[in-house]
Amino acid sequence: MQFKKRASEILLHPTSLPGPDGIGDLGVSAYQFVDFLALSKQKIWQILPLNLPGYGQSPYQTLSAFAGNHLLISLQQLVEEKLLLQEELADRPLLSAEKVLFFQVQEWKEKKLSQAAKRFFQREERIDYLQFCQKNNYWLSDYALFMALKEQLNGLPWQKWPKSLACRNKLTLLLYQKRLKKQIAYHCFCQFIFYQQWKKIKIYANKKGISIVGDLPIFVAADSSDTWVLPHLFQLDENGQPTKVAGVPPDYFSSTGQRWGNPLYRWGRMGLDDYHWWRERISYLLQFVDSIRLDHFRGFEAYWEIPAEEVTAVNGHWVKGPGEHFFRTLKEYLGELPFIAEDLGIITPEVEQLKENISFPGMKVLQFCLDNRKDRKTLLRSMSQETVLYTGTHDNDTLIGWYKNGAKPEAVRFLKAYLGISTKTSREDLVYSLLELVLDSKAGWVIIPLQDILCLGSESRMNTPGTKEGNWQWRFLTEQLTLEKADKLKKIVEEKQRG
């Protein structure tokens, strides 16, 4: 993928948008955020995976590699479509405006979505709904049955379902497809509405000259519709339990590494049909986004394999991935791949060579650059144009949090000397000095989490790797996104010629 021009963009997951329903949604606040991007001369909106999260509410531990997170559906838009009545939202519980309380949100919002689905199916069948279901039958019908069964069985992972269901006995599946017909239809409805609402946002953003960068998690959760339907593509035993799991060795974030727990792929099996599951997955995502950040790119060259019985990632080892053959095969079917390689972590010459051979731009993170480099003065100016430079990702602290609590002393000394930072420097002046630094770099794209635009501290961090509680919850408030903020950002972007 070649960068046509230097650009600046903002990283914000839709769950972090403001709104009355306890979680960001695809309603008015999403359109207002696009307007803010346009006013501040941003050309790109980057999001995290849109998939339905599973364990820990992580969008990187998904219940399906395809299905969107139906909790993002705007209920107000359903009122406008007369699928809900305004008074039916009056029993909304008191929900936090500053963080997502996932279980409370899910309990209330799914009741409303069920009401909307009931009205939807009482009407004459819509041709666009039927076309959506038919077009996406590869994954949708199995996903909807999977979700209906999970609800029927009190949320148990599919590995603990009755044997005939876990092993997908045909007669048993037919029985439950009839028994759970309404529940299955509900999940198809949610995916249809999610698809419609997001497509409208994408069209709106594109008309304003703003592209959307999506995120493709390399792995899926062990308890997912994908592993249930296609167990032969994953390293699972006869009971569906992973035998080997994914993670990374000890690194910047953790001295014992990160044991993600996702089942690893059987790449040889996947290659037999030219990676059909991957092709379907990527094709569907490209209906929602313009470019894709390819999560954990180095895992396609070699991945860290951990025996499932290990409780940490220390006792793993590197195993060769599908490499260039995988990407060449995708390209044969899908054409040019608008991918950004997330090439952070332990990067070998082989990973660099793979990235070069398939011409994907890579990533750099300002915090890592300043912490780990001696030639800090020349680093940003000598950076390749085929680089996407982040102030921080969803896994990093905010700039303020990093500077105050995590930055190495030599990085702090450099910034004080190079940018003239002192104890009297305000929080906003400190952050915007750093933003000017990255926007002035040679990197093709510069990506800034909204938390840094708003000069927020560690309390607004999105995720802390290696921890299980309190992640993915951050939301901003409507009043934080001011015209003054947009104008200030616009002036810097224009000065650095990234408009």
Catalytic annotation, residues: 295, 342, 395
Give the whole-angstrom CA distance, residue 327 versus residue 109: 39
Instruction: Please state the φ and ψ torsions of residue 25, each to the nearest 5 degrees.
Output: -140, -175
Q: Tell me the pairing of strands 211-216 and 244-248.
A: unpaired
Contacts of 430 (CB under 8 A, 6+ apart): 399, 400, 403, 421
CB 128 within 8 A of CB 55: no
Nearest CA to 446 among 387, 383, 381, 384?
Answer: 387
Question: What's the Cα-to-Cα distance from 472 to each of 55, 83, 219, 268, rounded to whole Å?
Answer: 12, 30, 18, 34
Residues found in the chain: 499
CB 354 within 8 A of CB 324: yes
11 three-class SS = strand
Tokens matching residue 320: 């060769």
Which letter does DSSP use for residue 402 in this model? I
Tokens matching residue 492: 């810097």
Contacts 24+ apart (CB under 8 A), 65-68: 65/139, 65/217, 65/220, 65/224, 65/226, 65/277, 65/281, 66/136, 66/139, 66/140, 66/143, 66/280, 66/281, 66/284, 67/139, 67/140, 67/143, 67/191, 67/225, 68/191, 68/194, 68/195, 68/198, 68/288
Question: What's the Cα-to-Cα distance from 128 to each of 70, 286, 307, rounded to whole Å?
Answer: 18, 19, 46
Tokens matching residue 375: 């030639």
Query: DSSP labels for 247-259?
Result: EE-S-SS-TT-EE
CB 106 within 8 A of CB 151: no
Tokens matching residue 424: 């009297």
